[in-house]
A and B are shown apart, each in its own frame.
Chain A
Amino acid sequence: MKEKINWKFTMILCIVGFVLALQYNTINTEPARDTRDLWAIRKELSKEKKIHSELLDEIREVDQTLSSYTALTNESTEEVLQNTLDKLYKQAGFMPITGPGFVVEVAPSPESIAFGYELKPVSTELLTWFINVINQHQGNELEIDGKRFTTLSWIRDINGKLTVSGEVISTPPFKIKIVSATLEDSEKLYNHLLSTTIQDEFYLDDLILTISKPTEDVALRGWTGGFENQFLKEQTKEQ
């Protein structure tokens, strides 16, 4: 009998001890000190404000679509829906676009030609790094060697060949076209590219990156391949 009591007391005391230790842990842990200075906080605030304004833009755009839906008559239904569809296609990179941008040419370096080195395709790591540098600035559209690069595109090395979404990119020289929302954005991106070490990185692989000045009209092709739709389903009329 006494052993039974002991055992139960032990269990209960173990629980009590555990909870006590948890409480001790909670109370004696100092909250992490905020070591940001005024400028760091201001920087974060400006980042949040930027997000805020972007969200407001998006809301405005969606509101406009909504008001166009509510105002439509039977005749214009098709037109409005077509507009929305076109917009979605454009967002997804299926439509050819023309806008302010610049062209980057990837070519073998003169030294490698002079020494007669074998031409190799650009490495996937280098191209991925280049695209990451571009994506530091939002809202850019890309075309690599005539293949549109969308948010769903992928870069892979298949049997020693560089491919973008399964399509082989030719060995240099080839062109990468970048289109931004405005000419100002394009110039910003151009200056950013010049200030990074990306050209040196390409040179290490015996490649020369020639970045041309931004112009008003750079044309990109649309993505011609299909896309896999895993989650969205078509609604029937009854639904």
Chain B
Amino acid sequence: MWLPLLGLLLGISLGLLSDIQIPQEYNNYITIAILAAFDTLFGGIRAYLQQVYDDRIFVSGFFFNILLAAALAFIGVHLGVDLYLAAVFAFGVRLFHNIAVIRRILLAKWTGRNKNPNANT
């Protein structure tokens, strides 16, 4: 439990200490990459709690989602259409959904009831 948090802290401190700044024009890409990363992360946590977690799906999903989102943003910039908004919307909806499922599972575990976590989401 503590190891992943330690990893997060390590990443944050590395990033803050490195003093690297991303040029303004790449801001869209990085925002969407962060969103995609969060989506995969919460998806992974949900899958783990539902006991359907698969290593390969998690790791490949993480990188693939980030690349797909960045590619979408790239195409959008070159077509003059804000395609990255589509990715933001999709990831946003999934993020809320995943967090809702995690909340329900944790609540169900906490209260000791064995309800189906997917019901009424």
Q: Which residues of chain B are within 8 angstroms of A16 by Cβ–Cβ distance?
A: 8, 11, 34, 37-38, 41
Q: Which residues of chain A are within 8 angstroms of B96 by Cβ–Cβ distance?
A: none
Closest beta carbon of chain A to B104's beta carbon, Å: 21
User: Closest residue of chain A to B1, judged by CB?
Assistant: A6
The stretch of B19-27, B75-83, B87-95, B110-118 that contacts the partner chain: B19-27
Chain A 1-32 interface residues, beta-carbon cutoff 8 Å to B: 4-26, 29
- Digit string of B1-43 for contact with A (CB within 8 Å is 1, else 0)? 0011111111111111011111010010011011001101100
Closest beta carbon of chain A to B36's beta carbon, Å: 10
A29 to B4, CA, bound (A): 28
B41 partner, pick from A6, A13, A21, beta carbons under 8 A: A13
A5-B55, A12-B59 as given contacts; A21 in contact with B14, CB under 8 Å: yes
User: Closest residue of chain A to B45, judged by CB?
Assistant: A9
The yes or no answer to B64 lying at the interface (CB within 8 A) is no
A5-B48, A25-B16 as given contacts; A14 in contact with B11, CB under 8 Å: yes
A224 to B71, CA, bound (A): 62
- Whether the Cβ atoms of B16 and A13 lie closer than 8 Å is no
- Whether the Cβ atoms of A14 and B8 lie closer than 8 Å is yes
Q: Which residues of chain A are within 8 angstroms of B13 by Cβ–Cβ distance?
A: 17, 21
Question: How many residues from B make CB contacts under 8 Å with A?
Answer: 36
- Whether the Cβ atoms of B15 and A21 lie closer than 8 Å is yes
Interface of B is mostly: helix
B15 partner, pick from A11, A12, A18, beta carbons under 8 A: A18
The yes or no answer to B62 lying at the interface (CB within 8 A) is yes
- Whether the Cβ atoms of A29 and B21 lie closer than 8 Å is yes
A8 partner, pick from B34, B37, B38, B55, beta carbons under 8 A: B55
- Whether the Cβ atoms of A12 and B37 lie closer than 8 Å is yes
A5-B55, A26-B21, A29-B21 as given contacts; A20 in contact with B11, CB under 8 Å: yes
A29 to B5, CA, bound (A): 26
A8-B58, A10-B4 as given contacts; A25 in contact with B37, CB under 8 Å: no
Closest beta carbon of chain A to B48's beta carbon, Å: 7
Closest beta carbon of chain A to B31's beta carbon, Å: 7
A4-B55, A26-B21 as given contacts; A17 in contact with B4, CB under 8 Å: no
- Whether the Cβ atoms of A7 and B12 lie closer than 8 Å is no
Q: What are 6 A-B contacts with C-beta separation under 8 Å?
A: A12-B44, A13-B7, A21-B13, A21-B18, A22-B21, A23-B22
Contact surface of B with A, Cβ cutoff 8 Å? 3-16, 18-22, 24, 27, 30-31, 33-34, 37-38, 40-41, 44, 48, 53, 55, 58-59, 62
> Nearest 9 A-B pairs (CB), nearest first?
A21-B15, A17-B11, A10-B7, A14-B11, A18-B11, A14-B7, A17-B12, A9-B4, A13-B8
